[in-house]
C-alpha cells in the first residue's frame, strides 16, 4: 500500500499531512526532511528475544532502528538500582563497529552506525549481574530501552586452562584449572586476559559451553543449579560427574535446569563447583 | 559462548540432511534434486529430504515418508477423547479448535495417546510426549452434524465385531481409567494417496490451500473475456508488452500490479508442479505420480 508523499491513504507521514503521526498520536507530520525525535524511534536489540550476555564483557550488542544520523551517539547502561555504567559519565564502547569492521576511535565514548544508519553497535564492558536499561543520547536527545539487556554470570572456558598450562609455572596466567577459578572477579592482567581471549575464540571455533555446578545436587533433586546457563539450549543434555544427564527446561536468569534425569542412578551428593559440560551434539535442529 | 553450537559443529551440520537448517538445508535439497519451496518450514522439509536422500526409491514407505514429512506442518490436530463403549467414535474435547466438518471426512488420521501401560508417570523421567501412536485410520463420517459441523467423527461407519473388540481397553492401546490421562490427540493428514495399479499411476489428493501459487491459466477459446465465463474468475498471468509492440497510446504499464493485475507471466503456479516432480521421481520407473489439489467438501 503506498504511503509516500501525496498518498491519499493514511498514514501518509508526508509534508503537510493532517493525520497525527503514529509516533505519538499528537504531533502532525514531521514534514519533509524533518528528523523524528530520538525518543520516538522503534529501537530493538539484535538477536533472539530473551538472549542474555556475560558479565565479563566483550560481546558486541547491536541496536536496530532507523537512526536519524550516522552519529555520534553515546550509549550507557542503567542498572535496576539506577547506577549508570561506567560511573562518572556516559559509557560506551572502547571500540565501535563501523561498516562491518571494528575500528578504534580517538574518543572511545562515542558510537557510530553503519552507512545504512540501521545498526548501532557497542561493546559491553564488564558489568555486575543485573537487568539493564539501554540509554542512547545524541545532541541532548535521549531514547531508552527499559530493562532490555540482561547480564548473567559468565561461562567458563576449558580452552583457557589448556593454553595457560603451556606457560612456565612462575608466569601469572590466572587460574590454570576450573576448580581454581574465582567466582566473581572478571579476568584481569595482560596474560590472563590474553589467554582468556584466545581460549574463548578456540571455544567458539570448536568447543562446547562449560560451566560449574552452582549449588550442591542431592539424589532425588529434579533441578540442577549452574553457575551460568549462558549459551545453553532450552532443553538437551549435559555431562556432570562422569554421567550424561538430560534436562527439559532452563531458566537463564537463575541458571537452573529443570526436569533433569541422569543416565545412571546417582546415590551421592555432587558438590558445588564441579565441571558441567553442555552436550552440544545433542541439540536437535528445529 | 552465546550459542551452544561451535562454528565447526555448525559447519558440519550444514552438510547433513538430517541436521542442516535454513539456507544450508535448501542447498542440500538442490544437490539431491529436490528444490525446496519457500512455504516449507525447516522441520518439514528436513523430513521430506531424508526420505528423498536416503529412502529406497519405488517403495511405498519412502513415498509415504516424503508426503508425511513435506506436509507435516499442515497436519491438523484436535484434543479428543476415546470411548471404549463406542470405539469407532472419536469425540472432540469441547473448547478445543473448531469442530469437525466435511473437510475432514475422507482423510487419513492417527490417534496419539497416553496408554494405561505407560502410567504412572515418573517425575523427571524423560519420555516421549505421546508414548503410543496408532496406525492410520480413514475418517469415514461425521456423527449428527449440526450446521455442517460435528463434535464426533467415525473411524468406521458400521458396527463390526472387529471394532467392538478393538475398544481401546486392552493391550498397548488401553486407555487409562484415570480421567487425567484419558485425553488423546487426533491428527488429520492433509493428503490422501490413491494407487491405480492398472494405470501405473499414483495420485495424491492434497488440500487445495496448502500448495498454492499465483493463478495462470489459458481460457478456451483464447482471447475470450474472462468475465463472460464467470464474473468472479480470477485474473491469470499475462505476457507484459514491455516494448508496446501494439503501439497503444498511452503505452501500457511495463510492470504488472501484484494485487489487481495484470499479473506478469512469470508468476506461474509452479509450486504444486515442483512437489509433483519430486514425488514422481520417488516412484518406480514407468509409474506416473501426480499431486492434485482439491477442495474436500
Q: ipTM of this predicted complex?
A: 0.76
Q: Which residues of B touch A260 (CB under 8 A)?
A: 124
Contacts 24+ apart (CB under 8 A), B23-30: B25/B49, B28/B53
B12 touches chain A (CB under 8 A): no
CB A211 within 8 A of CB A274: no
pLDDT reported for residue A87: 46
B123 touches chain A (CB under 8 A): yes
DSSP B192: E
pLDDT reported for residue B246: 73
CA distance A245 to chain B (A): 10
pLDDT reported for residue A165: 93
Do the chains contact at A283 and B21, CB–CB below 8 Å?
no
Do the chains contact at B2 and A53, CB–CB below 8 Å?
yes
Which residue, among A226, A221, A210, A286, has the nearest Cα to A259 in the 3D structure? A221
Find the closest chain B residue to A57 by CA distance: B1
Whose cell is 553442555? That residue is A278
Report the residue of B8, B23, B40, B124 to disrupt the A interface, i.e. the one with the largest count of A CBs within 10 Å. B124
Residue B277, classified by CB atoms within 10 Å of its CB into exposed (0-12), middle (13-18) or buried (19+), is middle
In the predicted model, is pLDDT for residue A91 greater than 50? no
- pLDDT tier at A96, thresholds 50, 70, 90: low
pLDDT reported for residue B9: 93
In the predicted model, is pLDDT for residue A245 greater than 90? yes
Do the chains contact at B2 and A51, CB–CB below 8 Å?
yes
In the predicted model, is pLDDT for residue A144 greater than 70? yes
* CA gap B244, B290 in Å, rounded: 39
For residue A238, the tally of other CB atoms under 10 A from its CB is: 24
B280 touches chain A (CB under 8 A): no
Q: Which residues of B touch A232 (CB under 8 A)?
A: 4
Do the chains contact at A209 and B19, CB–CB below 8 Å?
no
Do the chains contact at A208 and B19, CB–CB below 8 Å?
no
pLDDT digits (tens, 9 = 90+) for B90-101: 888 877 678 888
* CA gap B10, A199 in Å, rounded: 19
Alpha helix ranges (H) inside chain B: 7-13, 22-31, 42-54, 60-70, 161-165, 226-229, 270-282
Global pTM reads: 0.70
In the predicted model, is pLDDT for residue A102 greater than 70? no
Candidate from B2, B4, B43 with C-beta closest to A283? B4
- Return averaged pLDDT per consecutive 10 residues of chain B, 297 residues in all: 89 92 91 81 91 87 89 88 86 80 90 80 58 82 82 87 83 77 85 85 83 62 77 70 74 65 57 77 85 80
For residue A121, the tally of other CB atoms under 10 A from its CB is: 22
Amino acid at each position: 500500500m503506498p504511503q509516500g508523499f501525496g498518498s491519499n491513504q493514511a498514514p501518509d507521514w508526508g509534508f503537510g499531512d493532517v493525520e497525527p503521526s503514529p509516533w505519538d498520536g499528537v504531533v502532525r507530520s514531521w514534514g519533509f526532511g524533518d528528523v523524528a525525535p530520538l525518543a520516538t524511534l522503534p529501537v530493538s536489540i539484535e538477536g533472539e528475544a530473551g538472549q542474555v550476555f556475560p558479565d565479563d564483557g566483550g560481546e558486541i550488542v547491536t541496536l536496530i532502528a532507523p537512526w536519524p544520523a550516522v552519529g555520534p551517539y553515546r550509549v550507557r547502561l542503567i542498572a535496576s538500582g539506577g547506577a549508570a555504567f561506567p560511573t562518572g559519565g556516559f559509557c560506551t564502547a572502547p571500540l565501535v563497529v563501523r561498516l562491518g569492521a571494528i575500528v578504534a576511535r580517538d574518543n572511545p565514548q562515542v558510537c557510530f552506525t553503519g552507512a545504512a544508519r540501521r545498526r548501532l553497535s557497542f561493546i559491553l564492558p564488564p558489568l555486575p549481574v543485573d537487568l539493564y536499561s539501554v540509554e542512547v543520547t545524541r545532541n541532548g536527545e535521549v531514547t531508552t530501552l527499559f530493562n532490555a539487556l540482561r547480564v548473567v554470570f559468565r561461562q567458563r572456558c576449558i580452552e583457557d586452562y589448556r593454553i595457560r598450562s603451556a606457560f612456565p609455572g612462575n608466569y601469572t596466567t590466572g587460574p590454570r584449572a576450573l576448580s581454581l577459578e574465582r567466582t566473581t572477579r572478571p579476568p584481569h592482567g595482560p596474560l590472563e586476559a590474553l589467554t582468556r581471549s584466545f581460549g574463548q575464540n578456540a571455544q567458539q571455533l570448536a568447543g562446547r559451553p562449560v560451566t560449574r555446578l552452582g549449588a550442591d545436587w542431592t539424589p532425588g533433586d529434579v533441578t540442577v543449579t549452574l553457575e551460568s546457563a549462558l549459551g545453553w539450549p532450552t532443553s538437551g543434555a549435559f555431562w556432570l560427574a562422569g554421567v550424561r544427564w538430560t534436562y527439559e527446561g532452563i531458566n537463564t536468569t537463575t541458571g537452573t535446569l529443570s526436569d533433569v534425569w541422569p543416565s545412571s542412578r546417582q546415590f551421592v551428593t555432587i558438590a558445588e563447583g564441579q565441571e558441567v559440560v553442555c552436550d552440544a551434539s545433542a541439540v536437535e535442529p528445529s | 559462548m552465546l550459542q551452544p553450537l561451535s562454528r565447526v559443529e555448525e559447519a558440519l551440520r550444514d552438510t547433513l540432511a538430517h541436521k542442516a537448517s535454513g539456507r544450508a538445508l535448501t542447498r542440500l535439497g538442490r544437490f539431491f534434486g529436490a528444490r525446496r519451496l519457500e512455504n516449507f518450514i525447516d522441520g518439514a522439509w528436513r523430513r521430506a529430504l531424508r526420505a528423498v536422500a536416503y529412502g529406497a526409491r519405488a517403495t511405498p514407505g519412502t513415498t509415504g515418508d516424503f508426503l508425511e514429512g513435506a506436509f507435516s506442518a499442515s497436519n491438523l490436530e484436535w484434543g479428543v477423547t476415546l470411548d471404549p463403549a463406542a470405539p469407532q467414535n472419536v469425540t472432540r474435547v469441547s473448547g478445543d479448535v473448531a469442530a469437525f466438518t466435511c473437510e475432514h471426512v475422507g482423510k487419513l488420521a492417527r490417534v496419539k495417546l497416553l496408554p494405561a501401560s505407560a502410567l504412572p508417570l515418573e517425575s523427571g523421567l524423560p519420555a516421549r510426549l505421546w508414548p503410543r501412536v496408532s496406525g492410520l485410520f480413514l475418517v469415514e463420517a461425521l456423527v449428527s452434524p449440526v450446521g455442517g459441523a460435528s463434535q464426533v467423527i467415525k473411524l468406521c461407519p458400521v458396527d463390526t465385531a472387529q471394532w467392538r473388540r478393538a475398544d481401546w481397553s486392552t493391550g498397548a492401546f488401553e486407555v487409562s481409567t484415570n480421567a487425567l490421562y484419558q485425553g488423546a490427540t487426533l491428527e488429520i493428514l492433509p493428503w490422501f494417496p490413491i494407487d491405480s495399479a492398472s494405470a501405473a499411476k499414483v495420485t495424491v489428493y492434497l488440500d487445495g490451500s496448502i500448495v498454492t501459487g499465483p493463478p495462470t491459466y489459458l481460457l478456451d477459446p483464447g482471447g475470450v473475456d474472462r468475465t463472460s465465463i464467470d464474473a468472479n474468475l480470477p485474473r491469470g498471468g499475462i505476457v507484459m508488452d514491455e516494448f508496446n509492440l501494439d503501439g497503444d497510446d498511452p503505452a501500457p504499464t511495463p510492470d504488472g500490479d501484484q494485487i489487481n493485475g495484470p499479473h506478469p507471466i512469470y508468476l506461474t503456479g509452479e509450486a504444486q508442479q515442483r512437489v509433483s516432480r519430486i514425488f514422481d521421481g520417488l516412484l518406480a520407473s514407468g509409474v506416473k505420480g501426480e499431486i492434485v489439489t482439491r477442495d474436500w467438501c
